Chains A and B, each alone.
Chain A
């Protein structure tokens, strides 16, 4: 075994250390420690001459370990590591003792501070003795990017990356991209038409030479790690020949089978073969195999679409024989932008959603006010009449211990928007039941002022119930909204014809499954967890996977777009560098000891250890690009197979033993 030769350097740091700690005494003491070949004290170790001392000693005295006792390592560890490397030694054969921030600056008794400095130096010497050289590895990064979700967030991220001439795979679950935003009518506060601002982006995405679009598809499997993810996508069968379909809609017209349209929130019907909406991209038909009589009867019934399709895109083969396809490809980074679900208010029976015909949610109202929607832009009750009075109810499922504690952020604004639209498109009186008015964004407060001047009745109070049990003649045939007007301090019963519930934005119902596929963590509120709320809001604990938009939490369109661009920037930054650096002080497994019990795999937050069969036995292997070196696996390993490089048990025990020695 090679002889260990340690050099110890005690820094005066001017008077910062030397004013309290007797640095000469500490240096003399260090020289007496085993394996210490040279021990010096100097005024400013971090200065060039100070660093030269180290470099020269390494070369002249054949040092193979170095200790510097000075300020906090959080300040100058990188400096001295570099000096050691410049001297020809591996930078990890270095240890740092903090005798300034942790000693001379906080203790006034010079004798005790000096004794403590000696203890800390002794501990550093015992620790550096056991250091091993470590190599910082670099691995190449695949420049392709996977974007999951074709809503505004996914599309924006995809476009930003593709515009940089990098290949993007965009996978969308629905038959068309557009997400929830394409369902919206006008967007606050400018009231521009959502479709008008979105469809150019959708078109860009559909035609972009660098975007490969998979619609009606879902990511089934993700393996690998940053720089090299292997993706498996299931492309669901549309039951048409995509190369032939020209999107003429004739099949949809002729199809006799109907069901509620998902896009129109059930306010209209769609057929078994359908194009989701007029601006759908790709503009292709899709057949619903649960509704199509031809498919369900195995070719015996109907078949109307086959007859009328001029392009011959629908045939008996496509209907009966076409199956899902599995597509595989590799990417280096992933952006997850899977969006949100609207909270289902039927779990709040007091609000009567699902019970009364004219209690709706926001998305219903969006479709109603849309000029191209099921009511051609007219606000109508179920029976076709125009409402005389409309109520808007804030905070349905939000800010509520019983459902979601969080605020959904956008509802106050869209409620104001609905109030304004109700005034614009009908003669109805509008009653807005709110707790607060959260108008935080650009132009939002101004919009609120504008709406309040339009004659909307604002009632501050959380609605207790919506009922058809009437007490007076005025209430007959109406829905009564019962609430307390907290500003006036009295109960109010407001009879209305239509109620719009500002439903919460919640995590998608399959968020659990998505989190498992992509190794994402979820917060307590159900949305995906960011790496750091303030300082790293689009990254996730899994390197190389980023999140954007409402899948991370409720947000409005400007914030969603900003976040999407942020994830694109993250991806582009990685692509620009082209390689990924692995952490040197990572976990490592001694395979002669490990028996693959799996406790490490279970406890790791970064999914770095994986138990697999190797040469007939089960062992754990650490993915060094994922490991962050936190040390949790080593604590739970029952056999001692796992250790953390640079923080091995032996060296920390040596440090602890040295600290409790008597100097």
Chain B
């Protein structure tokens, strides 16, 4: 049986984390291809419905990453994102979703290596806990 390869959807802010992922690219720092990135202008742009939709689609993990608190182009985006993610976590907890599946990170534009490390860690972690419970879809009733 093929090894389980988790699928990760990452929401990365344009000014910091997306740039960090770019830097990982220019520095040729490799990481597993399990992640695809959605570019948002600010981590505060991430609406809980985006995370829920990713899980609905069968993603095994979601990463919400943006600037450090003092670096935000829009002043206090990270604070707003923290509040959104904290609330969403409580909801996902009731759904029985493992905490590791939603990850919140602060990655500056200069931290390409950190970005790659986070992806590697997330893939390893998700491999251990297995596929998302939402991956199994119920057959449509007649």
Contact = CB atoms under 8 A, between A and B. Distances in A.
Are A and B in direct contact (Cβ within 8 Å)?
Answer: yes
B76 interface: yes
A337 B76 CA distance: 24
Given A106-B116, A112-B33, A649 B47 contact: yes
Contacts of B41: 585, 629-631, 644, 647
- Which of A101, A108, A606, A655 counts the most B-chain CB atoms under 10 A from its CB? A101
Contacts of B40: 631, 647, 652
Given A632-B77, A634-B45, A649-B47, A106 B25 contact: yes
B25 A73 contact: no
Main secondary structure of the interface of B (DSSP, over half): mixed
Contacts of A555: none
Interface stretch (B16-24, B99-107, B122-130): B16-24
Contacts of A657: 53, 57
A659 B50 contact: no
Interface in B32-58: 32-33, 36-42, 44-50, 53-54, 56-58
B121 to A, nearest CB: 15
Interface string A425-444: 00000000000000000000
A399 B134 CA distance: 54
A462 to B, nearest CB: 29
B137 to A, nearest CB: 12
Contacts of B22: 72, 74, 98, 101-102
A632 B26 CA distance: 31
A653 B52 CA distance: 10
Contacts of B54: 656, 659-660
A100 interface: yes
B84 A635 contact: yes
B70 to A, nearest CB: 8
Interface stretch (A113-121, A292-300, A372-380): A113-121
Interface residues of B, number: 45
A116 B34 CA distance: 8
Contact of A656 (B25, B53, B73, B74): B53
A593 B25 CA distance: 43
A585 B54 CA distance: 24
B49 to A, nearest CB: 7
Contacts of B56: 660
Nearest to B77: A630
A102 B21 contact: yes
- Which of B22, B32, B50, B54 counts the most A-chain CB atoms under 10 A from its CB? B22
A101 B53 contact: no
A101 B47 contact: no
A536 to B, nearest CB: 10
B37 A98 contact: yes
B93 interface: no
B76 A605 contact: yes
A634 B44 CA distance: 10
Nearest to A109: B33
A603 interface: yes
B30 A635 contact: no
A409 interface: no
Nearest to A659: B36
Contact of B38 (A116, A628, A659): A659
Contacts of A103: 33
- Which of A102, A112, A123 counts the most B-chain CB atoms under 10 A from its CB? A102
A630 B14 CA distance: 10
Contact of B53 (A106, A113, A644, A653): A653
Given A107-B30, A107-B33, A632-B44, A100 B50 contact: no
- Which of A116, A629, A653 counts the most B-chain CB atoms under 10 A from its CB? A653
Nearest to A119: B36
Given A100-B25, A119-B36, A632 B50 contact: no
Given A106-B30, A106-B31, A113-B33, A653 B39 contact: no
Nearest to B8: A659
Contact of A106 (B7, B9, B18, B29): B29
Contacts of A629: 41
A540 to B, nearest CB: 10
Nearest to A16: B25
Given A630-B41, A635-B84, A653-B50, A101 B75 contact: no
A443 B50 CA distance: 58
Contacts of A659: 9, 36, 38, 54, 57, 59
Given A123-B36, A631-B41, A659-B9, A605 B28 contact: no
B80 interface: yes
Nearest to B24: A106
Contacts of B53: 653, 656-657
A660 B59 contact: yes
A105 interface: yes
Contacts of A606: 74-75
A656 B10 CA distance: 10
B44 A631 contact: yes
B42 A630 contact: yes
A214 to B, nearest CB: 31
Given A656-B53, A656-B54, A659-B9, A105 B75 contact: no
B72 to A, nearest CB: 9
Nearest to A583: B41
B49 A653 contact: yes
A15 to B, nearest CB: 13
A369 interface: no
B42 A116 contact: no
A661 B75 contact: no
Nearest to A72: B22
Given A73-B39, A103-B33, A652-B38, A647 B45 contact: yes
Contacts of A526: none
29 contacts: A72-B25, A74-B19, A98-B22, A98-B37, A102-B22, A102-B25, A102-B37, A105-B25, A106-B116, A107-B31, A107-B32, A108-B30, A109-B33, A115-B33, A541-B75, A603-B80, A628-B73, A630-B42, A630-B45, A632-B44, A635-B45, A635-B47, A644-B45, A656-B38, A656-B50, A659-B36, A660-B58, A660-B59, A661-B57
Interface pairs A-B: 3 shortest CB-CB: A660-B57, A101-B25, A631-B45
Given A102-B21, A106-B116, A660-B56, 8 more contacts: A106-B29, A107-B31, A628-B73, A632-B80, A634-B47, A647-B40, A652-B38, A656-B54
Interface of A: 72-74, 98, 100-103, 105-109, 112-113, 115-116, 119-120, 123, 521, 529, 533, 541, 585, 603, 605-606, 628-632, 634-635, 644, 647, 649, 652-653, 655-657, 659-661
Interface of B: 7, 9, 14, 18-19, 21-22, 24-26, 28-33, 36-42, 44-50, 53-54, 56-59, 70, 73-77, 80, 84, 116
